[in-house]
Structures are given as C-alpha cells and as structure tokens.
Amino acid sequence: MSKVSIGKKVPAFSLPATGDQTIKLSALKGKNIVLYFYPKDSTPGCTLEGQDFRDNIRKFSSRNTIILGVSRDKLTSHERFKEKQSFPFDLLSDEDETLCKLFDVIKEKNMYGKKHMGIERSTFLIDEKGVLRYEWRKVKVKEHVNEVLEALKAL
C-alpha cells in the first residue's frame, strides 16, 4: 500500500474503534476528518492533546468535522482513556500498524538513550471528498489544535 500525499485521495481504511464499532473511511464521506496519531494512551502529552481536541469539539463540529485519534493501544486501553478524559470522539486501535504505515508515522525514537520504533505525533486533515489537504508532523501539543482549526477555515 502506498503512502498518503497531500492533494490525493486517502486509500480506504477500516479499523476497530471505541464504542464497539469499526470506523471506515468510506462511511465518513461528506465530512472533514481530523485524524491525529499519538504515541500512547494516558501519557501526559497524549492526554493534553486529546483534551485540546475535546475542549474545541464545538468549533470542529460547526465546520462539519469529526475528530479521530489513532494509536497502537488495544481497544480496552482506548475505552478507559476515552471515558476518563470524556473524549466526545472515537479512538481507533491500530495494533498491526496498518494505518500508521499508510500515513508513515512509525519512526525511530530515542527515549533515555534507547532507540525504538514508535508513533511520531502527527495530524492529518482530510476533506469531505476524502482528499488529504494538510499534514502536521512532529507535532508540538501546545497551540496545535489552533493550527488545525486555522487550516480547516481555509478549506
């Protein structure tokens, strides 16, 4: 499967999600999608990022936009994380890294001198027709949601 690129349609995907459902890209046509990849449930940066999206959900909803968070965590972990943080959006479980590879977010990371492969915090904005319009890589959580909202206004 080739990687996504700006200005091109995002290939169809389907992943298990919170709420005992399967999210399919094809079922989301007609809506803008903010797809944000994060390293791990319930860690400080990932919690802050999710809270920022949560706290701005009305601004996204008013622009016909849904938010989906993606990590390699199991659904049980996602369910706890979503409930604890009262996230009004779904979290997708990509344990086999299918979507992570499609969006090329698995990168070598260095933590305390140890190298490992993990998700590089990244966000993608897909328009109502399923075309990738914007991408943010190596995301810094502070002010990120505002950048995404500004890009959404430009669509």
- pLDDT value, residue 151: 96
> In this structure, is residue 79 part of a structural domain?
yes
> In this structure, is residue 32 part of a structural domain?
yes
- pLDDT value, residue 1: 54
- What's the sign of the alpha-carbon dihedral 77, 81, 83, 87? negative
Q: What is the largest distance, in Å, between two alpha-carbon atoms of the chain?
A: 45
> In this structure, is residue 33 part of a structural domain?
yes
Residues belonging to the active site: 46
Q: How far apart are CA 20 and CA 27, in angstroms?
A: 16
The values of phi and psi at residue 71, to 5°, are -150, 180
Residues of the domain holding 59:
14-154
- pLDDT value, residue 2: 67
- In the chain, the number of structural domains is 1
Helices (H), strands (E): how many in the chain?
5, 9
CATH code of the domain in which 44 resides: 3.40.30.10
Q: Residues 123-140, buried b or exposed e (16+ Cβ, 10 A)?
A: bbbbbeebebbbbbeebe
- pLDDT value, residue 3: 85
The residue written with tokens 């914007």 in the block is: 134
List the chain pLDDT tens, one digit each, 155 residues: 568 999 999 999 999 999 999 999 999 999 999 999 999 999 999 999 999 999 999 999 999 999 999 999 999 999 999 999 999 999 999 999 999 999 999 998 877 888 878 899 999 999 999 999 999 999 999 999 999 999 999 98
- pLDDT value, residue 132: 97
> In this structure, is residue 1 part of a structural domain?
no
